Amino acid sequence: MGFQADIIIWDFDSLQMMHRLKLHKVLIQSLSFSHDEKFLASLGGQDDNTLVIWDIESGKALIGNPVGNNVANKVKFFNNTHSKCVTIHNCGVRTWDCDLEQKKVKYNEILLNSIKRNFSCIAISPCDSAAYIGTKTGDIVQVDI
């Protein structure tokens, strides 16, 4: 408890460490690279519950934002843009719009009405129109994003 968790980015061509990223407390819950591999989204565990967008080339954090009181389980970039990602929570789903130049992020809560599930995994359709979210009870929920 109380230590920072490392994210290490390696260059596989040269077999050298490019960056050691430190910002999250105790645990890295989930990682997702953008489609063009220029950005990395990281999600801290329940101790900090923060979404951070990193610039891969410089190794610097561009945006950091708490994801709320509901613990987030996974983060996933959209397939065709590096300015949008999705987080899945114990009982919810949020899409995030990242303005990397202004260093701002805002989220949209996806309303699930009466669906109460603990979400554990996510896949996004190739055209970024839908997300397929797996639950701990074995269900798959499709949501329009």
**17 token code pair:** 């460490």
* 144 residue type, one letter: D
Q: How far is CA 20 from CA 45, 85, 112, 130, in A?
A: 18, 23, 37, 33
Classified as helix, coil or strand, 117 is coil
Classified as helix, coil or strand, 133 is strand
pLDDT tens across 21-60, in order?
Answer: 998 888 999 999 999 999 999 999 888 889 999 999 999 9
Domains defined along the chain, listed by start: 4-111 (2.130.10.10)
pTM of the model: 0.90
What confidence tier does 90 reach under pLDDT thresholds 50, 70, 90?
A: confident
Rounded Cα distance, 59 and 24, in Å: 14
